[in-house]
């Protein structure tokens, strides 16, 4: 396993000043509660094309049992109930090889603080507006982990083909290797991490949804949906730790 160094961000201070001041901390035997652990910077994927990673999935699991990410050579990574799933290019799900390295992930030991029944949503904009209303009283300048169990008359997801060297830019991958799949009348789980706007380009900002069907056979990064019914469980995450492999 590559050595990992941890850097804590004062999220409240960053929200007030707009400055991302990361301070090194000791590697912890037990991850902190209500804290999002992120492996690598988002720009390592989008700008530096680091699609292979150095840290094995099995070594990341101590930092969370819920989250999203990018697997080895890309695709879509889902972590739910401590299990790691990978969406292939066609949206089919496999259980991830835990000894593969991961280039990017956001993980938390999920413990919901509150839950709410969601109203039907005609599109993803309507859906996000409901979630915005739920988190607004708790502040939008922190991270949130959200798990939604729902019924979806339609859900549209993407994944991408495995990449090979020399690696393409992310823009080219989205244009040439992205595969969009639409499913109708499915049930499943949305795995979501919300990131505040000031975290760009270190972390994804706004709402970010991955989907896993109830049978764990279909999934990917969500591009659009219609929701008939859903229950959202939400955890506010005022802590953020960046994990950088050396």
Instruction: Name the token pair of 194.
Output: 């919300």
Q: What angle do CA 14, 50, 24 make, to 5 degrees?
A: 35
Least confident of 20-29, 158-167, 173-182: 20-29
Q: How many CA atoms lie within 13 A of 154 on its CB side?
A: 12
Domain of residue 141: give its range.
114-236
Q: Is 61 exposed, middle or buried (0-12, 13-18, 19+ CB in 10 A)?
A: middle
In a domain, 241, yes or no: no
Q: Report pLDDT digits (tens) over 135-155.
A: 999 999 999 999 999 999 999
Q: Phi-psi region for residue 65, left (φ > 0), alpha (ψ -120 to 50) or beta? A: alpha
In a domain, 27, yes or no: yes
pTM, two decimals, is 0.96
Average pLDDT in the 43-50 region? 94
* CATH number where 155 lies: 3.30.1330.80
Is the pLDDT assigned to residue 224 strictly greater than 70?
yes
Residues 64/110, Cβ–Cβ less than 8 Å: yes
**β partners of residue 160:** 178
Query: Are residues 104 and 191 part of one domain?
Result: no
Nearest one of 117, 150, 132 to 226, comparing CA atoms: 150
Mean pLDDT of the chain: 96
29 band by pLDDT with thresholds 50, 70 and 90: confident
Query: Are residues 179 and 220 part of one domain?
Result: yes
What are the angstrom distances between the C-alpha of 158 and each of 155, 181, 187?
A: 10, 6, 17
Is the pLDDT assigned to residue 112 strictly greater than 70?
yes
């Amino acid at each position: 396993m590559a050595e990992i160094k941890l850097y804590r961000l004062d999220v409240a201070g960053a929200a007030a000043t707009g400055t991302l001041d990361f301070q090194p901390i000791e590697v912890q035997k037990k991850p902190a509660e209500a804290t999002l652990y992120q492996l690598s910077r988002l720009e390592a994927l989008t700008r530096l094309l680091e699609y292979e990673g150095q840290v094995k999935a099995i070594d990341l699991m101590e930092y969370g049992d819920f989250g999203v990410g990018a697997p080895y050579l890309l695709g879509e990574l889902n972590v739910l109930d401590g299990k790691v799933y990978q969406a292939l290019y066609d949206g089919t799900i496999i259980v991830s090889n835990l000894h593969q390295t991961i280039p990017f992930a956001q993980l938390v030991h999920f413990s919901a603080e509150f839950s709410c029944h969601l109203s039907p949503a005609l599109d993803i904009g309507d859906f996000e507006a409901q979630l915005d209303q739920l988190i607004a009283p708790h502040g939008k300048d922190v991270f949130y982990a959200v798990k939604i169990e729902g019924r979806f008359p339609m859900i549209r997801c993407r994944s991408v083909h495995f990449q090979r060297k020399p690696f393409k830019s992310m823009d080219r991958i989205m244009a040439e290797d992205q595969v969009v799949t639409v499913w109708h009348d499915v049930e499943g789980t949305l795995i979501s991490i919300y990131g505040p706007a000031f975290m760009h380009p270190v972390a994804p900002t706004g709402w970010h949804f991955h989907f896993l069907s109830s049978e764990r056979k279909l999934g990917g990064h969500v591009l659009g949906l219609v929701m008939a019914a859903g229950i959202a469980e939400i955890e506010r995450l005022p802590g953020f730790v960046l994990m950088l492999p050396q």
